[in-house]
Amino acid sequence: MADKIKKIALLTGGGDCPGLNAVIRAVTRTAILKYGYEVIGYKYGYKGLYNNDIVPLDLSSVSGILHKGGTILYSSNKDNLFNYQVEENGEKVYRDVSDVGVENLKKENVDVLVVIGGDGTLTSARDFARKGVKVIAVPKTIDNDLAATEITFGHYSALDVATDALERLHTTAESHHRVMILEVMGRNAGWIALRSGIAGSADVILIPEIPYDIKKIVSKIKSRGEQGRPFTIIVVAEGAKPLGGDVVVQRVVSDSPDPIRLGGIGDKLAHDLEQLISDHEIRCTVLGHLQRGGDTSTYDRILSTRYGVAAVEFIHEGRFGNMVCLNSNKMTFEHLENVIGQIKTVDKGDELVKTARSIGTSFGD
């Protein structure tokens, strides 16, 4: 038991995600109501830790936020204190300023830091744990690509948005006999495209794990026309790529820990198909940050609450340096050293892939 714990702090890093507020609420309420801990939050992720920009968290401050997307603590995906941009002699340089963060934790008498984020944010959490900070990590990403846990909160909220978009594109596709392409997020993992494609009745699902042959997609479109279905719905993950080709990079953000921004595969696919098909109009919709916004789904409200409660329970049990996980529908934990850099992607033999193939969905292979 961690009997000496009196005060904990939270921060949220990386891209925003439905369910962040629900986790903050669950951690705060459990910490206060069950264990009597004092709770504070650092604003703007690790930037707030560096600047000691804090806000008290109590029952009032977390009231009414369960359903809301975003994060009341705000976030940043550019502030790695182990490689932080500072100005020296009028020039911007990168330095390891993590000791400042450690000192600020000591200054505020913080016993445990709860870090909520994806792989980049949790990499820094691991590094702080190596420096002796008591850390509990909570996995966050709509992409569902973090290892050691079956589902990350925010994923199903994003799926709802993507599925709704596919349903809306169906009516236009059918009315105009068009090929409609929906580009979704996911980076190098195809979970959003795969699950929304099944739920949204996509005819073609393109994911990073299965490189596609453009000719196979053309064949699928023509086959549907011959069957009296002269329209096609395609969902493509931003990290998908053609056979022998590479991903499409939208831009490079040089001052970010994760500088490569994928995007544009939907437009590329539309252009390539237009060169091979003359009897269909082809349109592409990029869903983008709509997948991150809006209210948190019912599933994610429950999952996020479970994650938050488990984080505090693990604090009480003294299980520091670990990430909260969901496995076999039970809240468990895994050491951060075993989690960082382990990306969970879709296996070609995954049951969901087999399910989609069984109902006639093409993966372009």
Domain assignment present for residue 342? The answer is no
Q: Report the candidate in 22, 7, 21, 87 with the shortest Cα–Cα distance to residue 54.
A: 7
* Residues 135 and 96 both lie in one domain: yes
143 a catalytic residue = yes
Could you give the maximum distance between any two Cα atoms of the chain, in Å? 71
Which pLDDT score, from 0 to 100, does residue 220 have? Answer: 96
* Residues 148 and 160 both lie in one domain: no
**Buried/exposed code over 164-199 (b: 16+ C-beta within 10 A; e: otherwise):** ebbeebbeebeeeebbbbbbbbbbbbbbbbbbbbbe
Number of structural domains in the chain: 2
Please report where in the chains the tokens 């963060």 appear, as a residue. Answer: 101
Range of the domain at 112: 7-153+296-327
296 has pLDDT over 60: yes
Q: Percentage of the chain with pLDDT > 70?
A: 96
**Quick one: average pLDDT of 105-119?**
96
278: tokens are: 């003359």
336 has pLDDT over 60: yes
Encode pLDDT of 75-95 as tens digits: 988 889 999 998 888 898 999
208 has pLDDT over 80: yes
| Active-site entry in 79, 143, 160, 203 | 143
Which pLDDT score, from 0 to 100, does residue 342 have? Answer: 87
Q: CB–CB of 104/97 below 8 Å? A: no
Predicted TM-score (pTM) of the model is 0.92
5 has pLDDT over 90: yes
In eight-state DSSP terms, residue 210 is S
Q: What is the CATH number for 203? A: 3.40.50.460
* Residues 55 and 182 both lie in one domain: no
In eight-state DSSP terms, residue 112 is E
1 has pLDDT over 60: no
Between the alpha carbon of residue 246 and those of residues 60, 188, 208, 238, 258, the distances in Å are 50, 12, 10, 11, 18
* Residues 232 and 114 both lie in one domain: no
Domain assignment present for residue 334? The answer is no
Please report where in the chains the tokens 């409660």 appear, as a residue. Answer: 309
Q: Percentage of the chain with pLDDT > 90?
A: 81
Domain assignment present for residue 336? The answer is no
* Residues 145 and 188 both lie in one domain: no
* Residues 69 and 107 both lie in one domain: yes
Encode pLDDT of 222-254 as tens digits: 999 999 999 999 999 999 999 988 877 766 666
Domain assignment present for residue 172? The answer is yes
Domain assignment present for residue 364? The answer is no
Encode pLDDT of 172-183 as tens digits: 998 889 999 999
Decide the pairing of beta strands 232-237 and 260-262.
unpaired
* Residues 187 and 248 both lie in one domain: yes
Domain assignment present for residue 363? The answer is no
Q: Report the candidate in 295, 330, 335 with the shortest Cα–Cα distance to residue 309.
A: 330
Domain assignment present for residue 98? The answer is yes
Rounded (5°) CA angle 276-281-284: 95
* Residues 140 and 192 both lie in one domain: no
**Quick one: average pLDDT of 296-309?**
97
Q: What is the CATH number for 108? A: 3.40.50.450
Domain assignment present for residue 340? The answer is no
Dihedral sign (CA 59, 60, 66, 68): negative
Between the alpha carbon of residue 47 and those of residues 193, 236, 260, the distances in Å are 33, 34, 21
Query: H or E segment at 214?
Result: helix 214-226
* Residues 108 and 242 both lie in one domain: no
How confident is residue 261, by pLDDT bands cut at 50, 70 and 90?
low
Encode pLDDT of 149-205 as tens digits: 999 999 999 999 999 999 999 999 988 899 999 999 998 999 999 999 999 999 999
**Quick one: average pLDDT of 289-301?**
93
Please state, rounded to an integer, the average pLDDT across all residues of the chain. 93
* Residues 351 and 220 both lie in one domain: yes
* Residues 15 and 161 both lie in one domain: no
How confident is residue 15, by pLDDT bands cut at 50, 70 and 90?
confident
**Quick one: average pLDDT of 265-271?**
93
How confident is residue 280, by pLDDT bands cut at 50, 70 and 90?
confident
* Residues 187 and 123 both lie in one domain: no
